[in-house]
Amino acid sequence: MRLVRLLAAMGRVDRTLSPPELAQLNDHAKIDWRPTIRSSDLPVLFVAGSDSEFWPSAHAAAAAALAPKGASTVVPRAGHATNMERPHSFNKAVAEFLDSAS
């Protein structure tokens, strides 16, 4: 069911990636971001879907714990593409974070 939900969400977006976008995605997947997160002095929100197809949602809290001004949230009944699968819940979480960070 999670795969069906992800495919349905992906059907609403342009899936065409240019060579530079593919290169950036590949690079992003290979980098250890922990030092960058630790050194950030900006408020940062990590969002995870409770039903991610790729990793446990606990990664959001673990990443937020590395950041001096980190926060996290888990969106229920959402997978890896949380912003596409549950846009209202995602947008609400981001808006609340922005309100609290300002």
In this prediction, residue 88 has a pLDDT band, given cuts at 50, 70 and 90, of very high
**Tokens of residue 43, six digits:** 């408020």
Exposure of 43 by Cβ count < 10 A (0-12 exposed, 13-18 middle, 19+ buried)?
A: middle
Residues 6+ apart with CB under 8 A from 95: none
Q: Which of 75, 88, 83 is nearest to 48 (CA)?
A: 75
| Separation CA 47–CA 15 (nearest Å) | 22
Going by the DSSP 8-state scheme, the letter that residue 46 receives in this structure is E
pLDDT, tens digit (0-9, with 9 covering 90-100), for 12-54: 656 677 888 888 878 877 889 999 999 999 999 999 999 988 8
pLDDT tens digits, one per residue of 72-82: 999 999 988 89
Nearest 10 degrees: Cα torsion 77, 82, 86, 91 = 130
Beta strands in the chain (DSSP E): 44-49, 70-75
